[in-house]
Structure 1
Amino acid sequence: MAKQKIVLAYSGGLDTSIILKWLKETYDAEIIAFTADIGQKEELDGLEAKALATGASKVYIDDLRAEFAQDFIFPMFQAGALYEGQYLLGTSIARPLIAKRMVEIARQEGATAIAHGATGKGNDQVRFELGVAALAPELDVIAPWRLDEFRETFPGRAEMIAYAEKHGIPVTASAAKPYSTDRNLLHISFESGMLEDPWFDPSAASNKDMFVLSVDPEDAPDQAEYIELNFEQGNCVGLNGSRLTPLQVMESLNELGGKHGIGRVDMVENRFVGMKSRGVYETPGGTILFTAHRKMESLTMDREVMSLRDSLISRYATLVYNGFWFAPERLALQALVNESQKNVTGTVRLKLYKGNVIGAGVQSPVSLYNPDIATMEADPTQAYNQGDATGFIRLNALRLKVSAGVQQSTQK
């Protein structure tokens, strides 16, 4: 009888390396390791050999960077999604793509379950499993960190390291970097360890080595750099006159943003599971893109359409953060977003300087800004009669006057 097959989301770190071996022994199963290349770069080096040496029967390392940029990052940025006013959702938006590809591999390989190394305290467990539930409800999900037998075997990192040494699993665990990271095309995150103290200052000079994607703003060039981004229907399609794919846009903006120390965020956020957590993020390219997109919208998007879309940003961002990317309500919101972006076309000029993204001009062939109407000088179009404002103000003031009159009468 053929062994059960389990597809494991595998990063090659301490946790998933231990989990791979533990799953194989505990379930007497064939483990298929899957790693999504979504921009981790050198972190992918040697993963296939390591997974096979640890006991995987097969390894998938799939380059999903282009799909990640085009079908996940760009639609989310069209929506202007920002979680709790600061977080550009770099980790959150990667999880549904990973879940999608895991489901595809599971079906291709005839697996009955997928497994992940997310802990029972975090958001990723929810994101992975909601994605699988939406796409392949027939698959089982194994989350070792939520199983008593796993936690009893591995109550701490010391036991995990000892297990790795016993079974010849090559892992790198060091006190030199007492925090965890998650890197992809959109950002890198840092959490846990020394960062669990919200008074700890990661921006201090002594902690400069922690950051990966950006220089310290204080060390950024003293000369500002101007760039121009071209947009078509809410998507950036070009930089400085060169037409680019979404992947090329992200890679180019990451380089520019990192050079100028752009995109660092340090925040305490609210996890879906109910606790607060402290995260430090570097999102250099995403920060530039977010700012440019908003400026492009300011010139080309109807006021009431923008107001409606903006009223839904928090809802949209929360859906992404909580793992509901494939949920019908997110898809419905995306349809509204797509409609709102039809005229978001033109060019934005920005100035990059020491951690800042500064607007330096915007133009569009479908601009809603009419200088003849907006001018403080004589209006050659006669489209706006200043005298009309008298009645406009009188009508809008009516309810205020009535309310004030009632208050005054009750105070007598």
Structure 2
Amino acid sequence: MKSKEKVVLAYSGGLDTSITIPWLQENYDFEVIAVCVDVGQGEGETFGVEEKAVRSGANKAYLLDVRKEFLDEYAFQMLKAGAIYEDKYLLGTSVARPLIGKKLVEIAEKEGAAYIVHGCTGKGNDQVRFELAIKALNPSIKIIAPWRVWDIKSREQAIEYAEARNIPVPVKKKSPYSMDRNLWHLSHEGADLESPWNEHQSSIYKMTVAPEDAPDKATYVEIGFEKGIPVYVDGEKLDSIELMEKLNELAGKNGVGVADMVENRLVGMKSRGVYETPGGTVLTIAHRELERITLDKDTSLFKAMVSQKYASILYDGQWFTPLREALDAFVDSTQEMVTGTVKMKLYKGNCTIAGSKSPYSLYSEELATFSSDDVYNQKDSEGFINLFGLPLKVRALLNKKLKEEGK
């Protein structure tokens, strides 16, 4: 008997991927291998996920814990780059996709699977991110995207499909939000959020609290960086997972890190999302502040342009590209002196700087002081201004001459 072809399914245990297993069985003659990649979704989503996949019909299931790799090689690299999409989105979903795609390819190669299946819709960005990662790492693997071919057209129909086959899913008709969670963030989309006029309700929060429910007393936290990487919290050295969990807890209970935005999707439409990024918000602001005292002006200005491009590359699923690797080389170079400590004040949804220091600080109190000093000769500024303003003076003299000549 000819053996069945194998297919690797990107499996989360959520609605879309849960109904994909029976759909594949009903429409293809595949051996289904479900792969759940743990990037910090939490035990509520990963506990028993292998058993659930098998109960739903999968022939085999994997649960891969890649949380440390996710933070060390992806999220913190993004942090060093200063990537923020459209000045607001800290790219929590985007930054996890290339790693998940990489792991799907690794399992497909290990199992000899010719296909990878994902549960992304035809309207979203994730389909692009997954498929570009697969194409970059193993272009011989074929891709199946059920949402682009099946008759199910809405989340409500997907729920009905699951209920008809007795497949347990965490989403009910009364709360049909699409959520994605990892150690960096949690996103919410769909339902009443689809109208930008609707104020989102704080009842959807899972990592944070509403600012009005946060403590009345501010929380101070000190974050230590080494070459752009956060390694200390309040003087205690932590590994990346411990550090992220601690900052998520501290920032979350103070209502820090919620972004409600309408963004431009890669596929051409606008969409609205509510993002909870408590620890990531604190790290992003702290890291940027440390760069302010350790990077020179020209490097800072150029890095701002790189940050914007880096964000677009990441959002568009182009992680495995020569350009991203080249930009990383620049970013890593800029981070050589980004070492020091930043003190943050967390209070009712606000995250502000309370102090910063670095052994490589370019800030000089002697030069910046308004008091008397022996370092800076204020008379020197006259010559500087004369030279700096010379083009303006030349142009003004020319205009005066032309006016006198009646031209």
- 1:75 and 1:27 mapped to 2: Cα distance? 40
Give the number of equivalent residue pairs.
402
Instruction: Give the Å deviation of 1:397.
Output: 1.4
Cα deviation, residue 309, structure 1? 0.8
C-alpha displacement of 1:167: 2.9
Confirm or deny that 1:392 pairs with 2:368: no
Deviations 1:236-259 (A, max 9, x none): 110011001122211111001101
Query: Which deviates more, 78-87 or 163-172?
Result: 163-172
Is contact 1:178–1:194 with CA below 8 Å preserved after alignment? no
Which residue of the partner structure matches residue 251 of structure 1? 245
The residue aligned with 1:377 is 371
Contact 2:155/2:176, CA 8 A, preserved across alignment = no
After superposition, what is the alpha-carbon deviation per residue over 1:176-221, rounded to whole angstroms, capped at 9, x for unaligned? Answer: 323211111111111111101000001xxxx232111101111110
Q: In structure 2, how many angstroms separate the alpha carbons of the residues matched to 1:359 and 1:166?
A: 53
Give 5+ residue unaligned stretches, structure 1: none
1:48 and 2:40 matched: no
User: Aligned runs of 1:69-218 on 2, under 5 Å?
Assistant: 69-147=71-149, 150=150, 152=151, 154-202=152-200, 207-218=201-212
Offset of residue 321 of structure 1? 0.4
Alignment-mate amino acid for residue 197 of structure 1? S
Q: Using a 3 Å threshold, how does the CA distance of structure 1 residues 222 and 135 change in structure 2: closer, same or farther?
A: same
Name which of structure 1's ranges 260-269 and 10-19 shifts more when overlaid on structure 2: 10-19
SS of the aligned residue for 1:92 comes to: helix
Q: How does 1:226-305 map to 2 (within 5 A)?
A: 226-305=220-299
- Alpha carbons of structure 1 residues 403 and 352: separation in structure 2 relative to 1, 3 Å: same
| 1:3 corresponds to | 4
The one-letter amino acid of 2:50's match is E
User: Displacement of 1:104 after TM fit?
Assistant: 0.6
Does the 8 A contact of 1:70 with 1:247 survive in 2? no
Root-mean-square deviation over aligned CA pairs: 1.6
Cα shift readout 1:51-76 (whole Å, capped 9, x = no counterpart): 10111111111111111111111010
Give per-residue Cα distances to partners, 1:133-169, cap 9 Å, x unaligned: 111111111111122xx1x3x2344543443234332
1:12 matches 2:13:
yes
Offset at residue 271 of structure 1 (A) = 0.4
Q: Residues 358-373 of structure 1: matches in 2 within 5 Å? A: 358-373=352-367
CA distance in 2, matches of 1:160, 1:268: 25
Give the conservation status (yes or no) of the 8 Å contact 1:296–1:362.
Answer: yes
Cα deviations by residue, 1:354-390 (Å, 9 ceiling, x for unpaired):
111111111111211121122222333x3x3322222
CA distance in 1, matches of 2:354, 2:123: 43
- SS of the residue corresponding to residue 61 of structure 2 reads strand
Contact 1:19 1:144 survives alignment (8 Å): yes
CA contact (8 A) 2:32 2:59 kept: yes
1:317 alignment counterpart? 311
Deviation at 1:173, TM superposition (A): 3.8
In 2 relative to 1, CA 305–49 (structure 1 residues): closer, same or farther, beyond 3 Å? same
Are the counterparts in 1 of residues 159 and 172 from structure 2 also a CA contact under 8 Å?
A: no
- Letter aligned with residue 30 of structure 2: A
Shifted more, 277-286 versus 15-24: the winner is: 15-24
| TM-score for the superposition, normalised by structure 2 | 0.95
TM-score calculated relative to the size of structure 1: 0.94
Query: Counterparts of 2:237 and 2:31 in 1: how far apart (Å)?
Result: 45
User: SS in structure 1 opposite 2:389?
Assistant: helix
1:336 paired to 2:337? no
Tell me by how many angstroms 1:170 deviates: 2.1
State the match for 2:68 in structure 1.
66
- CA 160–356 in structure 1, closer or farther in 2 if over 3 Å, else same: closer
In 2, Cα distance between equivalents of 1:377 and 1:231: 32
What fraction of aligned residue pairs are identical, expressed as a percent? 52
Q: Is the 8 A contact 2:339 2:358 kept in 1?
A: yes
Structure 2 spans left out of the alignment, 5+ residues: none
Change in 2 beyond 3 A, CA 1:385/1:227: same
For residues 277-313 of structure 1, give each alpha carbon's deviation from its aligned partner in whole angstroms, at most 9, with x where no partner exists. Answer: 0111110000000011011111111222111111211
178 and 404 in structure 1: CA distance in 2 versus 1, 3 angstrom threshold: farther
- Using a 3 Å threshold, how does the CA distance of structure 1 residues 397 and 105 change in structure 2: closer, same or farther? same
CA contact (8 A) 1:346 1:365 kept: yes
Paired letter, 2:300: M
Q: Secondary structure at the match of 1:315?
A: helix
